[in-house]
Structure 1
Amino acid sequence: MVAQRPTMSDAREYLRIVENKFQDKPEKFRTLLKLLHDFRSRRIGTKDVITIVKDLFKGQRELILGFNTFLPKEYEIKLEDVKAPSPITVGFSDAISFINKVRIRFEDDVAVYRTFITMLSMFQKGRMSLSEVYNEVNLLFQEHNDLCLEFYNFLP
């Protein structure tokens, strides 16, 4: 038996369910919409979307299973795979280079640079989730799409 592909109606219904689930946390729904937009624009890949969705919907079994409806079978999220995000791991020199790029870009607005460094520290210490960092970096660097795109490379 061949599985049917989800329809636009299925997608709208799923988004309605997510929006209702997070009525008290609208930033989670906005993060999902931004994530899906970035995926459709090819700014972020399937594996990154899955990593962020796992974190965004942590503890929400039905939302994760519902999201699987829209994934190819080989990318299906298995609930036993859903765990806390690991710290950012990339090449040290790449990370230092990116941080320096942010510092130079915002040398006239030091508060942006400091906020970015604080967010990284909070994430590393487990005080911010991956989806929160993703959302906040999008807001912080909203006029600097190149920095957003480069930052995605550092997501676990």
Structure 2
Amino acid sequence: MFGTKGGREYLMTVRTTFENNREKYDEFLKIMKDFRANRIDHISVRSQVRTLFEGHEELIVGLNQFLPKRSMKSLGSFQRQDVTFADAIDYVFKVKARFEDDDRPYKSFLAILKMYTEYEKNHAELYDEICVIFRDQDDLREGFAQFLPR
């Protein structure tokens, strides 16, 4: 993954950035090892690295070149359609039905939406959190993206 010249340069940039905080660099390496070993998916990598590298947007963006193309979709890159309130209600019922055997993801989904409205999270943070909950549910992630502003 980081075997190319660009990959080695990226690793050196991360290492240099966190030369006074070796724990962050080590945590980054652990995340990438977990990804290479298929213990976590690209969505989890993006979410974990976004949190780990908070305040270092250039490192977050730089990582995109090493992740599968589908993980680099921006919020606006999904095929958008005009959505209605009825569409939103249908989506919520779809989420609830999907997790009827284990309602924890559904409750987490509702809690994230509530936090978003109360604390005014930005759309990228909201979407990243939704991606973590729906990590194995491509249709739910893409469906949710339809409701975000362009």
TM-score where L is the length of structure 1: 0.48
Relative to its length, the structure with more helix (as a share) is 2
**Structure 2-normalised TM-score?**
0.49
